[in-house]
Amino acid sequence: MGLEHGKISGDRRQYDGGSLHEDSLPRAPKELFEEWLSRAFEEDLRDPNAMVLSTVDGRGAPSSRVVLAKAVDDRGIVFYTNYDSRKANEIEHNRRVALLFHWRELDRVVRIEGRATRVSGEEADAYFYSRPPGSNVGAMVSPQSRVIASREELLGQVNELAARVEAGEAEVVRPDNWGGYLVVPAVVEFWQGRADRLHDRIRYRRDGEDWIIDRLAP
């Protein structure tokens, strides 16, 4: 694949990752999502829990970035971040977000729309203190999404705190402005690549405690 006269060339291929049939679908999307996510881990794909998180700002302008899903349970999907970051500021303004998982090697995509709310301090603590010390020191120092003078200055601050921690002069403590968000799905779409671009698209829409299942045209 490459560029020729500004056009992408060599991008044609057949999709043959599987199929989706209504008669074998679970009533709720969680079971199928966990099945697909587990398959991505089993195939040893790189960062199978990576997802695109999309938010909107106060003017309605969208922004997207890649984050890691750290928990999937009956509530929804949890990720962690700095609460002073751009993504967090936009979530606080508008809690409606979108997630996208793309497992290219499996010809699969999952699109999720829902609302994001903060997890409890206890839940954030449990995850924070399970992380490598270096990651936590970085979280304590980095003013995420803000302009910094240089990488060298940031590394200097990280190394200084790390040295103080090693010397017993400071402790690794979860900052008040660091924690998680739980995304509760309202819409979940499963996209399975099929031959001739006639892909399978199955959408789940929440209806109270139940889910409505639709097939969408590719």
Cβ atoms within 10 Å of 192's Cβ, excluding its own: 19
What whole-number distance in Å separates Cα of residue 106 and Cα of residue 68? 19
Phi, psi of 198 (to 5 degrees): -90, 65
Q: Which of 197, 205, 206, 215 is catalytic?
A: 197
Q: Where are the domains of the chain?
A: 13-129+177-216, 130-173
pLDDT at 1: 60
131 is catalytic: no
The pTM of the full predicted model, rounded to 2 decimals, is: 0.91
pLDDT at 10: 65
pLDDT along the chain (218 residues), means of 10: 65 78 95 98 97 96 98 97 97 97 97 98 97 91 90 92 88 95 98 93 96 97
Tokens matching residue 202: 């199955």
pLDDT at 135: 93
Q: Which fold has domain 13-129+177-216?
A: Pnp Oxidase; Chain A (2.30.110)
Strand partners, 136: none
